[in-house]
Amino acid sequence: MNEWYSLSFEALKLGAQFGGALFIARKAVQWALSRYKQEKHWERKLQAYTDLLAAIGTMHQVLDKWENNELERKEVSPEADEENVSRYRTSMQKLEEAIGVAELILPPKIAGLLGKLQTDLRNAQYRATSWMEAIEGEWVVLNKLRKEVLEIGRADLKI
């Protein structure tokens, strides 16, 4: 009889140890999976911010070239001008593509800023009385957006 209690007690101890090990293993897997998902989400957010800022940066570069060419009264070949127009349009398309991703994973304030961007760029063009004013107006709009995206992005990503 004593032996039976001893065996039962040992079996109970082994069962408790096994149950405890299963519980700890399950919690460890849950924690690791949760952390992995958080890191992937953070990386995706970082990529979205990077895409936005890269497109804005390219648009800035093109506007700077156009402004410098205008200020220096440089004659630009049609090929070079077409290249700049193409770069600007491509950057605008990338920005428009990034808006969808931004609406999904970035803070709502970013989506609002990006939605307002197209209106602000059009207004800068329509209000301008000269080519230089249009360039400067767009430059101001893009610069303001860039600063706001950087500020929100740093806070959102905690960097």
CA nearest 69: which of 138, 132, 130, 137? 132
Q: Output the pLDDT for position 68.
A: 84
Asked if 139 contacts 71 with a C-beta cutoff of 8 angstroms, the reply is no
- Segments in the chain below pLDDT 70: 1
DSSP state of 74: -
Rounded-to-integer distance, Cα 48 and Cα 102, Å: 7
Rounded-to-integer distance, Cα 107 and Cα 17, Å: 45
The beta-strand segments (E) located in the chain are: none
b/e per residue 26-45 (b: at least 16 CB within 10 A):
eeeeeeeeeeeeeeeeeeeb
The pTM assigned to this predicted structure is 0.78
Hey, what amino acid is at 142? L
107's enclosing H/E stretch is none
Rounded-to-integer distance, Cα 42 and Cα 34, Å: 12
Q: Output the pLDDT for position 148.
A: 95
Q: Output the pLDDT for position 41.
A: 92
Asked if 62 contacts 88 with a C-beta cutoff of 8 angstroms, the reply is yes
What is the crossing angle of helices 108-127 and 131-157, to 10°? Answer: 170
Condensed to tens digits (0 to 9), the pLDDT of residues 108-137 reads 999 889 888 888 988 888 888 888 888 899
* Domain ranges (residues) in the chain: 44-157
Q: Output the pLDDT for position 1.
A: 63
Rounded-to-integer distance, Cα 155 and Cα 144, Å: 17
Q: Output the pLDDT for position 32.
A: 92
Q: Output the pLDDT for position 131.
A: 81
